[in-house]
Structures are given as structure tokens and as C-alpha cells.
Amino acid sequence: MSIHPTAIIEDGATLGVDCVIHAHAIVTRHCTLGDGVVVHPFAVIGGDPQDLGFDTTIASFVLVGARTVLREHVTINRATKADGATELGADCYLMAGSHVAHDGRLGDRVILANSVLLAGHVSIGERAFVGGSAAMHQFCRIGESAMVGGLARITRDIPPFTMATERDELIGLNVVGLRRRGFKTAVVSEIKRAYREVCRSAGNPRELAAAALASGTYASDEARRFLDFFAGGKRGFLRAQREVAEPVAD
């Protein structure tokens, strides 16, 4: 373990083996850091939620998975409810100035680029990437292997394996991400079919996804996870713009 001069680690914090806490970083007593976590200068981990009604006397926590890297000025707030936790998975990478508000959930291998802002109760699936200065409304969910463009403003849920940008614009599947995960051609084909059936069709996405699952025509776990995503959430879902036929010249 390496703790640099001027770092502040409050009594009660738990640090795994081989953690590195750089100068001027603050790790509060509410934190548990897994093995090999790196906290860079001026990061504040485990601070109180930015919630005017929060009771500062309750015990709530921040849990950071193994080998996660928190760069300069990252802030991660503890949960709002007693015994609750803001949780980051293993092997995440949070770039400078990014913020995870209270009660957030990040899966393994999530990357937040510089100055990403996650409001309270945001959930991000494993291997998702969020571009610089993107902002997420509270209670939004981002599915696994989704990709969010820089400066995006997201107020609804982003399905797994998709790409989103600008103001709630769903622009297609993250095909490069699927390829990098090594999914077989048959699996990718099923995900594409599920995407068209739910995200590019008229109708309620929850009902469309439930019907697709009930049809029994999806064999892969990945396509079924895509469809299962639509059973949850509070914010509604991003939908792709349906293609409009070109006008016929007279």
C-alpha cells in the first residue's frame, strides 16, 4: 500500500492491499476500497450527498471495486439511506472531474471520461463508456456495453449494447463494442433483431420486449438480457428515430 504525504484517510475507512492514495486525496470513514484501487490528487471519496434533506448522522457508505482508478478531482458521494451504499465495480476508470452522486451503481469495467456528471440513483451496466461532460438525470439506467457521446444530456434509460448522444438521441447499436467483447456472429444477429423489434418499432417498449421474450425465438443470453432490460426502470426509454421513406418526385 502507498499513501502519499498530505493524503487524508479518515479513521474507519477500509483499504485493500496495494491501494495507492495520492497527495491531497480524501478518503472518508464511509469508504471501503478494494485491492489495488488508485485515488489521484484532490479526489474526494465518500463525501456527504448533495441532498438538502440528508441526515449527516446516519451511517451510509461508498464501495469501490478492485483495481478501479479514480483520477484527479473525482467526487463520489455516499448513499442517502442508512446502511445504503454507492457502489463502483472492479476495473472501472473515472477520469478527471467526474462525479458519481449518492446511491449510484456502476458495474465492472465502466469508463467515465472527464467531467461526466451522474445524478443520484444512476445505474450503469458493465463495460459501458460515457463520454466527456455527459450528464445523466437521476434514476437513469445505462445498459451494459452502451456508449454515450460526449456532452450528451440523458434523461431516460439507454438500452444495453446501444449508442446515445446529444439530447436523448439513440443512434444505433454499439457494433464495435460488441465485436471487442468477442460475441459470436449469431449472438450479434440476435441483438440486432431485438433492437429492431423493440427500439425501431411503434408501440410500448416494455410490451414489445416482453412479447419478444415470450416468443421463445431468442436463444442467446445476451439478446435476452437486452430484452430483460425493458422490464425495469422509472424514466422511460430512449427510442431510435424510425426511418421515413423518401418522398416520391412527381
Give pLDDT tens digits for 56-108: 999 999 999 999 999 999 999 999 999 999 999 999 999 999 999 999 999 99
Grid cell listed for 61: 457508505
Q: Do residues 204 and 164 lie in contact, with contact meaning Cβ atoms separated by under 8 Å?
A: no
pTM attached to this predicted model: 0.94
The contacts found for 146-154 with CB under 8 angstroms, 24 or more apart, are 146/174, 147/174, 147/177, 150/113, 154/238
Grid cell listed for 210: 416482453
Mean pLDDT in residue range 5-31 = 98
**Which of 103, 104, 125, 177 is an active site residue?**
103
pLDDT confidence of residue 155: 98
Beta pairing class for 117-118 and 61-64: unpaired
**Which of 102, 104, 125, 157 is an active site residue?**
102
**Which of 65, 120, 143, 177 is an active site residue?**
120
What's the whole-number average pLDDT of the chain?
95
For residue 237, pLDDT beyond 50: yes
Q: Could you read off the pLDDT of 206-229 as tens digits, one per residue?
A: 999 999 999 999 999 999 999 999
For residue 238, pLDDT beyond 50: yes
Q: Could you read off the pLDDT of 26-70 as tens digits, one per residue?
A: 999 999 999 999 999 999 999 999 999 999 999 999 999 999 999
Task: Enumerate the H helices of 183-240 as residue ranges.
Answer: 185-199, 205-214, 221-228
pLDDT confidence of residue 17: 98
Domain 2-175 grouped into CATH 2.60.40.10: no
Q: Report d(CA 138, CA 243) in Å as an integer.
A: 30
In the residue annotation, 65 being an active-site residue is answered as no
How far, in whole angstroms, is CA 194 from its chain's centroid? 22
In the residue annotation, 73 being an active-site residue is answered as no
pLDDT confidence of residue 242: 57
Domain ranges of the chain: 2-175, 178-231
CA dihedral 215, 217, 219, 220 (to 10 degrees): -90
Q: Could you read off the pLDDT of 144-179 as tens digits, one per residue?
A: 999 999 999 999 999 999 999 999 999 999 999 999
For residue 244, pLDDT beyond 50: no
For residue 246, pLDDT beyond 80: no
In the residue annotation, 121 being an active-site residue is answered as no
Output phi, psi for 147, to 5 deg.
-130, 125
For residue 249, pLDDT beyond 50: no
For residue 247, pLDDT beyond 60: no
Q: Report d(CA 79, CA 166) in Å as an integer.
A: 29
pLDDT confidence of residue 248: 43
Grid cell listed for 148: 454515450
- In sequence order, the 6+-apart residues with CB closer than 8 A to the CB of 185 are none
